[in-house]
Amino acid sequence: MKAGCLLCELTPLALQVGSIYSNYYASDAGSNLLDQLPFFVVVERLECEKARLVQERLTFQQDLQRYKGIIASVNQQLTVRNGWEVAQDRECRSQLRVCHSEG
């Protein structure tokens, strides 16, 4: 054993590798055994996933713009309605003043 050699100092326990289940690295046969997939198979799966996520993002952005338009329309309608109500309130108050001044 060489002094300072890291590989010589590792115990079998230190060499154990933990794994995380992932659809990108899962067995095509459906078994729970850890298969080594070819690099290009993994790349293809990741590219498909990326394309799906890009499409999902575009759909979300379109929906968001549509909802922003609806909200702007509702806000405009509320502004018009509030302006109308204020005008009606002023008209009623002026009519009340006229009635009180005549009475």
Please tell me the predicted confidence (pLDDT) of residue 15. Answer: 44
Query: Is 27 in contact with 33 (CB distance < 8 Å)?
Result: yes
**Range of 89's domain?**
75-103
Asked if residue 65 is part of any domain, the answer here is no
Whole-number pLDDT of residue 74: 92
The answer to whether position 66 is within a domain reads no
- Look at the pTM and tell me if it is higher than 0.75: no
The whole-number pLDDT of residue 33 equals 61
* Domain annotation covers residue 92: yes
Is residue 18 in some structural domain?
Answer: no
- In which residue ranges of the chain is pLDDT below 50? 1-2, 6-7, 10, 12-20
What DSSP string runs through 36-93?
---HHHHHHHHHHHHHHHHHHHHHHHHHHHHHHHHHHHHHHHHHHHHHHHHHHHHHHH
Instruction: Please count the structural domains in the chain.
Output: 1
86 falls within a domain: yes
Confidence at residue 13, expressed as pLDDT on a 0 to 100 scale: 45
